[in-house]
Structure 1
Amino acid sequence: MTAPFLGPDGAPRCPWSTAAPEFLAYHDTEWGSPVADATGRRREEIARIVVSMSAHQRAGLIDALHAFAEAAGEPSAPARQLGLVGW
């Protein structure tokens, strides 16, 4: 990974972002956007979908997600976190 450097306005950016004017805009609006924003939007969308499911469907989804996490060697979400997305 390349270390950030200061862009024309003094803000830290990746070196490739100044190669063309459109790169700078892309870097600042897409590439440089925090992952937390995207994660928050995804959680809101998932919560909207999950709320429309029956209790039986939600239980099946949770079981499947736990199985995927286990198969990947990742920890499952604690039960208290499941409430954050409407489960």
Structure 2
Amino acid sequence: MPLRTPLLIACAVLLAACSPITQENFAKLKPGMERVEVEKLLGKPAECAGALGMSSCTWGEKDRFISVQFAGDKVMMFSGKGLK
């Protein structure tokens, strides 16, 4: 049983290291990309909001995220914070 806790912690660290919210993936974003391409790269967004054909989606958390603004289904702008 004492081995279980360190094993669970190691698994959690490995999963966090596999996050798609990275500087490398941020650098792959380009204006004009299709929304499906962005979701292939980053996964499903944590949050999206929009109206009148414009939307803004965020991947990640408060201190580490990528935000992408779409016109229709095409990337217009994007930003990030806390990327490594």
Class of the TM-score when normalised by the shorter of the 2 chains = 0.3 to 0.5
- Greater share of strand: 2
RCO higher in structure (CA 8 A, sep ≥6): 2
Higher-Rg member (1/2): 1
Instruction: Give TM-score, length-normalised by structure 1.
Output: 0.34
- Greater share of helix: 1
Instruction: Give TM-score, length-normalised by structure 2.
Output: 0.35
